[in-house]
Amino acid sequence: MAIKFVQSEVLENKPLNYKFHLLRFKLKHKDEKSFSFKAGQFILVALENSLFRAYSIASSPKQLPFWEILIDITPNGPGCKYLKNLKPGDEIQTSTPKGIFALEEDGASNLVMGATGCGLASIKPIVESILEQGKNIHFFWGLRHEGDVFDRAFLETWKKISPGFQYEIILSKPENGWVGKTGHINSHMVEHIKSLPPELTSVYLCGNNEMIAEVKLKLSEINFPQERIYFERHY
Looking at the fold, whether 213 and 126 belong to one and the same domain comes out as yes
Mean pLDDT, residues 90-107 taken together: 96
pLDDT in tens, 194-224: 999 999 999 999 999 999 999 999 999 999 9
In-domain check, residue 34: yes
In-domain check, residue 75: yes
Looking at the fold, whether 32 and 88 belong to one and the same domain comes out as yes
Looking at the fold, whether 214 and 132 belong to one and the same domain comes out as yes
Looking at the fold, whether 115 and 226 belong to one and the same domain comes out as yes
Residue 150, strand partner residues: none
**DSSP label at residue 231:** E
pLDDT at 1: 58
pLDDT in tens, 166-201: 999 999 999 999 999 999 999 999 999 999 999 999
Looking at the fold, whether 114 and 227 belong to one and the same domain comes out as yes
Burial 177-195, CB ≥16 within 10 A → b, else e: eeeeeeebbbebbbebbee
Looking at the fold, whether 53 and 153 belong to one and the same domain comes out as no
Q: Could you give the CA distance from residue 149 to residue 106 in angstroms, rounded to a whole number?
A: 32
Q: Could you give the CA distance from residue 15 to residue 73 in angstroms, rounded to a whole number?
A: 10
Looking at the fold, whether 12 and 89 belong to one and the same domain comes out as yes
Q: Of 31, 66, 95, which closes a domain?
A: 95
Q: Of 54, 71, 95, which closes a domain?
A: 95
In-domain check, residue 62: yes
Residue 210, Cβ neighbours under 10 Å: how many? 13
In-domain check, residue 100: no
Domain CATH code at residue 26: 2.40.30.10
In-domain check, residue 137: yes
Task: Transcribe 92-139 into DSSP letters.
Answer: EEEEPPB-S-S---S--SEEEEEEEGGGHHHHHHHHHHHGGGT-EEEE
Looking at the fold, whether 145 and 80 belong to one and the same domain comes out as no
Looking at the fold, whether 167 and 213 belong to one and the same domain comes out as yes
pTM of the full structure = 0.94
Looking at the fold, whether 228 and 124 belong to one and the same domain comes out as yes
In-domain check, residue 105: no
pLDDT at 3: 82
Q: Are 102 and 38 in contact (CB under 8 A)?
A: yes
In-domain check, residue 69: yes
pLDDT in tens, 7-22: 999 999 999 999 999 9
Looking at the fold, whether 83 and 171 belong to one and the same domain comes out as no
Looking at the fold, whether 134 and 181 belong to one and the same domain comes out as yes
Give the number of domains in the chain: 2
Domain CATH code at residue 136: 3.40.50.80
Cis-peptide, bond into residue 15, ω within 30° of zero: no
Q: Of 95, 123, 142, which closes a domain?
A: 95
Average pLDDT of the chain is 95
Instruction: State the residue range of the domain holding 56.
Output: 5-95
In-domain check, residue 152: yes
Does residue 158 carry a pLDDT above 80? yes
Q: Could you give the CA distance from residue 135 to residue 154 in angstroms, rounded to a whole number?
A: 18
